[in-house]
Chain A
């Protein structure tokens, strides 16, 4: 496949690793924001190959992991209703709520359907006018444009039986939250390439300057990942803290302007709670008042939500890069991908599931 195979070339991976080895003189701690990148690093074994004591800590960029428990519980309550067809990206179905998950609701007769794209949810609404169709609109800046476009289409086509349960989050406020923590260990960021494909990287220079951290826009293939590491390490060694783009084939400084425009038409910044981390001011997106008629939260009154998080799960520390999955007492034992206690064990982007798949030998004792 073009634009994939050439970025998996072992000769280039080796050359990049050697180049990093030549540049690095002391250990550095880098954070890759995106859980997709965490999986890619571990899948290809690149984390173990990095020279000079370069450590990767894994960021909060796993939408399934950070969707707050209240919102999962709300989704479960709505999905249980007999008049509702509840639609969601597949990853959300196994995320544990306070008591059950969406799979469990489906097993008990709830109409819960996995969609690949939010436009499919809209089609389901058109095909089932007697039902209420709800889409679980979660994710970072990557899923915001598709989700926003779907709401806009529902409005234009006057589809009244469609609504969205919104739990969108944004990357830059999370980076600032991590950097302002007194426990922060991150010295440079590999910025999430696909978030930047949408948003560009004009939001980052102010963060790089304020916190004196290099930020390198990074792609997802082995060669891309190592180019990101090399650029970050070069900056750290030179005492620089700049924003660089190591994913130029997909990312421009200003990003995708038509997508940003639709997102800003439908959504506005709101305070958002992140599961395991807590409230981060203005770190989320919510529907603008003009689109409130599509808000599932107001359309379905589900009563008071009382959440209960497992006391065993250390997802919050994992998502902030403070601990690694093998340091968790239930990792790989009580908590596995088939029976997850915490959300990071569920998702294809969760750090715990990445370690379970690729570093299971490190299961804690």
Chain B
């Protein structure tokens, strides 16, 4: 139940009472509530939990993490060049 999945916001609209959006989960479009992420913009990725976006994913943070990890992986490759991976 605590599994949330990332999806890309394709469209934002108001249904009269709530801020809603169409979110793309790898090709599957679903309607979700965006009321908890009023700052979210079309094209951004959000974590969706039981039909509600609970967090806008931070691209900068994600890139920084991946940068550190790539460095770690490439350092490992340099140190152990003959290992099969």
Residues of A within 8 A of B (CB): 1-4, 6, 9-12, 14-16, 18-19, 34-36, 61, 63-64, 89, 91, 116-120, 138-140, 142-143, 145-146, 149, 153, 156-157, 192, 194-195, 197-198, 220, 223, 227, 248-251, 256, 258-259, 262, 347-349
Contacts and interface: CB of A to CB of B under 8 A. Distances in A.
B58 A36 contact: no
Contacts of B70: 12
A15 B57 contact: no
Interface string B52-77: 10110111011011100110110111
B51 A140 contact: no
Closest 5 CB pairs of A and B: A117-B51, A197-B55, A248-B61, A249-B62, A15-B73
B33 A146 contact: yes
Interface string B38-52: 100000010101111
B72 A120 contact: no
A118 B52 CA distance: 10
A64 to B, nearest CB: 7
A149 B35 contact: yes
Contact of A142 (B1, B8, B17, B66): B1
A195 B47 contact: no
Contacts of A347: 1
17 contacts: A3-B45, A9-B73, A11-B73, A14-B73, A15-B76, A63-B2, A117-B33, A140-B2, A146-B50, A149-B36, A153-B17, A227-B69, A249-B61, A256-B36, A258-B37, A347-B1, A349-B3
A143 B49 contact: yes
Interface in B1-46: 1-6, 8, 17-18, 25-26, 33, 35-38, 45
Contacts of B49: 142-143, 146, 194
Interface of B: 1-6, 8, 17-18, 25-26, 33, 35-38, 45, 47, 49-52, 54-55, 57-59, 61-62, 64-66, 69-70, 72-73, 75-77, 85
Given A11-B73, A142-B54, 10 more contacts: A2-B45, A11-B76, A12-B69, A19-B72, A63-B1, A91-B1, A120-B51, A142-B2, A249-B62, A256-B37
The DSSP consensus for interface residues of chain B is: mixed
Nearest to B75: A15
Given A140-B2, A197-B4, A117 B50 contact: yes
B69 A61 contact: no
Contacts of A349: 1-3
A248 B58 contact: yes
A354 to B, nearest CB: 13
Label chain A's interface by main secondary structure.
helix
B4 A156 contact: no
Given A1-B26, A61-B2, A197 B51 contact: no
Residue with the greatest number of chain B CB neighbours at <10 A, chosen from A14, A15, A63:
A15
A156 B72 contact: no
Contacts of A3: 6, 45, 57, 62
Contacts of A138: 1
Q: Considering residues B54, B61, B64, B66, which has the most beta carbons from chain A within 10 angstroms of its beta carbon?
A: B54
A262 B6 CA distance: 22
Nearest to A262: B36
Contacts of A140: 1-2
Nearest to A230: B72
Contact of B36 (A15, A143, A258): A258
B10 to A, nearest CB: 14
